[in-house]
Amino acid sequence: QGGTEKIRGYVKDFKEADVPIAALWLQDWTGKRETDFGRRLQWNWEVSDKQYPGWYDLIRELAGEQIYVLSYINAYLANTGGLSGESTTLFKLATELDCLVKETDNKTVQIQASATPDFTFGTVDITNPRCQKWYIDEVIRKRMIGEKTTSFDEIHGVLGFMADFAESVSLGASFYAGEGSKVHNSFPEIWSNTCRRAINANGFTEENAVFFTRAAGGRSPGETTLMWMGDQMTTFDHFDGLRSALIGVLSAGVSGFSLAHSDVGGYTMFQRFGGLIAYLRSPELFLRWGEMNAFSDAMFRTHEGVLPDESSQAFDEDLRHPFAKLAKVHRALFPLKRELMIQAEQTGAPLARAMFLEFPDDPKAWAVNDQFLLGDSLLVCPVTEADAVSRSCYIPDGEWTHVFTGERPKSQSVFTCAAPLGKPCVLYRAAAEPYAAAVREILA
């Protein structure tokens, strides 16, 4: 985040640190808002010339280096500009088009608040086919993807986006499709369908663009292209931290979402009373999260969070090189993940698998939720506690070898697995030897 020149600086720094970059996720393309909750975005889906002068030049410049831009959108439109006076043109236009969700009187536009009372918005009524088409054609296609984007040589916009929210439908609201209580569970599906139709508008973007959602209904796996786990706290715990992200990915995997990921390092940060109460991202948490996601996730992506200046980031001088190594691990595993994606298309099996999916007859495999398999031959037991250099790992049936120590623990046993920072607890079966060797070399 941060604007045109800052992004160019990050790219330069990452290249010098040998970080492999496939894309940059620039969520603040519409401008930023400073709130009591932290630094957020202006929900008006047009380029902020103040934040990103020469936005399209930047996109084409990066595309020339085979680095593509992802951005951000949701189904909401801000009705105020915040302290920085950002634009609200789309809220005004949606009001004129009668495309905003109403109160129960079916006349007054419903205004809700996001996290803090000063950040208010209206919801686009995408249950109305006319309004959904407007949002697809005039907002997502025209203002984000670019109507002329037809090949890698003709990039005129972003090649993907976070499609945020969709879960907070007011039960008392009035939609084109009915009252909120009727629409609540289907709204995330309609939101994913809206985004899917936007990227399917031409063959190139249908094949190459991606969007990732966090809210879902029963039909969402057939609509979204990728799930992410939402806004975890910058903690290690299973309540809403690193471990909860893994539980989410594994739960998604048995709910029809074969491809999933989380923000490396988490998102939600908190600091009050002069730092007396603080939840900020430490370098250790950031790297431990990256160790997990390099194996578990379909996309390896981080987020600056709501208090970016107070928390560790991928571009910090002391983190660029270790981050580069983890990104290279993710890249080295791509051939395996591509095979698993083909399996997912055919069978629905996820990339990151809960233990019981591969070992359904093992009662102990059903009892663990803090380790996983990538396919059937890589076993990953991520460290989910601060200051740990090892952890207990359940070893299922088969012959497994520790990637770094060469130890071969007994099957169906609990193994104390060495995992100093930078060398995660990963074991493999013979079929995964080439990938184990690549991981060993990268993280040496």
User: Distances from the Cα of 407 to the Cαs of 78, 404, 417, in angstroms?
Assistant: 56, 8, 9
Return the pLDDT at 37: 86
Return the pLDDT at 319: 98
Return the pLDDT at 39: 86
In contact, 274 and 261? CB cutoff 8 Å: no
Report which DSSP code applies to 13.
H
Select which of 13, 46, 61, 231 is catalytic: 231
- Length reported for the chain: 444
Return the pLDDT at 90: 97
Return the pLDDT at 349: 97
| Ramachandran angles phi, psi of 397, nearest 5° | -60, 145
Give the number of other CB atoms < 10 A from CB of residue 367: 10
Return the pLDDT at 297: 98
- Read off the pLDDT of residues 276-301 as tens digits, 9 standing for 90 and up: 999 999 999 999 999 999 999 999 99
| DSSP result, 139-205 | IIIIIII-TT--BTTB--S-SEEEE-------TT-EETTEEHHHHTTTHHHHHHHHHHHHHTTSHHH
Active-site annotation holds for 98: no
Return the pLDDT at 35: 86
In contact, 163 and 226? CB cutoff 8 Å: no
Active-site annotation holds for 304: no
Going edge to edge, which strands form the sheet with 352-353? Answer: 352-353, 372-374, 378-380, 426-428, 401-402
Return the pLDDT at 36: 84
Report the Cα–Cα distance between both ends of the chain, in Å, rounded. 31
| 3 token code pair | 């604007």
User: How far apart are alpha carbons 270 and 286 in whole angstroms?
Assistant: 16
Return the pLDDT at 286: 98
| Ramachandran angles phi, psi of 233, nearest 5° | -70, 155
User: How far apart are alpha carbons 293 and 264 in whole angstroms?
Assistant: 7
| 288 token code pair | 């431990």
- What's the burial of 298, exposed, middle or buried (CB within 10 Å: 0-12/13-18/19+)? buried
Select which of 13, 103, 167, 179 is catalytic: 167
Active-site annotation holds for 345: no
In contact, 157 and 58? CB cutoff 8 Å: no
| 27 token code pair | 């969520």
Query: Per residue, what are the HEC states of 290-354?
Result: HHHHHHHCCCCCECCCCCHHHCCCCCCCCCHHHHHHHHHHHHHCHHHHHHHHHHHHHHCCCCEEC
Angle of CA points 389, 232, 37, to nearest 5°: 125
Residue 380 pairs with which residues in a beta bridge?
372, 426
Q: Are strands 32-34 and 39-41 parallel, antiparallel or unpaired?
A: antiparallel
Q: In which residue are the tokens 């090189």 written? A: 321
CA torsion 426-432-433-438 (nearest 10°) is -70
Return the pLDDT at 436: 98
Report which DSSP code applies to 409.
P
Return the pLDDT at 82: 78
Going edge to edge, which strands form the sheet with 160-163? Answer: 23-25, 68-73, 160-163, 210-213, 226-228, 260-261
Select which of 28, 86, 164, 189 is catalytic: 164
Given a cut of 70, the residues of the chain with pLDDT beneath it are none
In contact, 319 and 312? CB cutoff 8 Å: yes
Comparing CA positions, the residue from 233, 311, 306 lying closest to residue 33 is: 306
In contact, 358 and 260? CB cutoff 8 Å: no
Task: Assign 395 to helix, strand or coil.
Answer: strand
User: How far apart are alpha carbons 29 and 42 in whole angstroms?
Assistant: 9
Q: In which residue are the tokens 């094949």 written? A: 207
